[in-house]
Amino acid sequence: MKKIAVLTSGGDSPGMNPAIRSVVRTAIYYNLEVVGVKHGYKGLIEKDFIPMDRGSVADIIQRGGTVLLSARCEEFKTEAGRQRAYKNMQEEGIDALVVIGGDGSLRGVQKINAESEIKAVGIPGTIDNDLSCTDYTIGVDTAMNTILDAINKIRDTATSHERTFVIECMGRGSGYLALMTGLAGGAEYILVPEIDFDPKEVTDKIKQGFKRGKLHSLILIAEGVKAPFADLSEYNGSPGMAMGDLIRERTGMETRVTILGHLQRGGSPTATDRVVASRMGHKAVDLLLQGKRDKMVNYKNNSIGSCDITDAIVKKSEIDMKIYQLANILSM
């Protein structure tokens, strides 16, 4: 093996840059050439390659996002598109590939290994932390701290005006972010896609809290929650907005809604994300040097290891019900 490539794909997550830096500098340490692929899998198809050296990744460890840029690529899902990508890599002399991304990105790694001679491995980079076989995905710690900071600031206003606030965070298919930051932020109610709930229980709990003298209530809801909002006259598709309408209708209380949106993806990565990303980038290159393919770097029991890609994406990681129950106990 003489030359490896690295790309980031799908939604960006804080810590991707430290991972890129680690891959590049580890590969150079072992006398390998490194090529950066811009715009994810689209860059493979369009041959958007750039040579990388130590200087290419200088001063990026503290930066959010990804210096290689990212994009979703429908063409790579077609056989013709992938064959074009393999041809481009072959012409460039690329022997192996490191892909940093989430579920969809790892499925691309599977295809590359199954259909070409290129050895490909994946690094889990997604703020959802929803991949099985790993306790941690790059970006989740930074995203949690971003949400927690928002909760802390919103709580000040909620208390000052004695209001209920609904905060909608990311998590289309996974409630990990909502659960963990809701626990850390002391939310009165945490609503996640994996667990059904009765809106009446939420509104009753809010009313009971104010009767006890509470000055505010904070409801944290993941964007993927499919709640029973059919009784509302209008539902605009945002579970946060729908929940706010429901609380106002059933309690008569002044309620505000904050949708955090994409600010959760940005920001300088935390120390934890930088350290884990650096360790994962090094491990990815190590796997390739060992001749491994179709592997994902993982983080289990505070150790960096690897697992088969199939095992990582065969199912989503599950909500820890003990933590969910703890959050309910502490919010009473």
Domain containing 186 — which CATH number?
A: 3.40.50.460
Q: Is residue 324 part of a domain?
A: no
Q: Are the beta carbons of 288 and 121 closer than 8 angstroms? A: yes
Residues 16 and 135 in one domain: yes
Domain presence at residue 322: no
The answer on 34 and 52 residing in a single domain is yes
Same domain, 158 and 42: no
Provide the pLDDT for residue 310. 92
Please state which of the ranges 21-30, 84-93, 230-239 shows the lowest mean pLDDT: 230-239
Q: Could you give the residue ranges of the DSSP H alpha helices within 55-102?
A: 79-92
Measured torsion, CA atoms of residues 170, 228, 236, 14, in degrees rounded to the nearest 10: 0
How many domains would you assign to the chain?
Answer: 2
Is 279 in the same domain as 134?
yes
CB-based contact 255:166 (threshold 8 Å)? yes
Residue 256 lies in a domain: yes
Is 265 known to sit in a ligand binding site? yes
Residue 148: domain span: 141-265
In a domain, 325, yes or no: no
| Residue where a domain terminates, one of 242, 265, 288 | 265
DSSP conformational letter for 316? B
Active site residue 128: yes
> Please, which pLDDT band fits residue 199 given cuts at 50, 70 and 90?
confident
For the chain, the first-to-last Cα distance in angstroms comes to 58
Q: Give a yes or no: residue 81 inside a domain.
A: yes
* Residue 128 shares a structural domain with residue 23: yes
- Residue 298 and residue 244 share a domain: no
Whether residues 283 and 302 share a domain: the answer is yes
**46 and 172 share a domain?**
no
The answer to whether the annotation marks 267 as part of a ligand binding site is no
Residue 303, in any domain of the structure:
yes
Q: Is 63 annotated as a binding residue?
A: no
> Known binder of ligand: residue 310?
no
Residue 10 among known ligand-binding residues: no
Taking residues 51-74, what's their average pLDDT?
95
Spell out the residues 6+ positions from residue 298 whose beta carbon is closer than 8 angstroms to its own: 124, 133, 134, 135, 304, 305, 306, 307, 312
* 258 and 164 within one domain: yes
147 and 252 share one domain:
yes
Determine the pLDDT at residue 265.
Answer: 93
200 and 124 fall within a common domain: no
pTM for this structure? 0.93
Catalytic residue among 128, 130, 141, 273: 128
Q: What is the pLDDT of residues 213-270, one digit of tens each?
A: 877 889 999 999 876 655 544 555 688 988 898 889 888 888 999 999 999 999 999 9
> What is residue 233's predicted lDDT score, i.e. its pLDDT?
46
What CATH number did the domain enclosing 11 receive? 3.40.50.450
* DSSP helix, strand, coil percent of the chain (3-state; round to 5): 45, 20, 35
186 is in an annotated binding site: yes
- In this structure, are 10 and 135 located in the same domain? yes
Residue 250 lies in a domain: yes
**Mean pLDDT, the chain, integer:** 93
Burial (0-12, 13-18, 19+ Cβ within 10 Å), 111:
middle
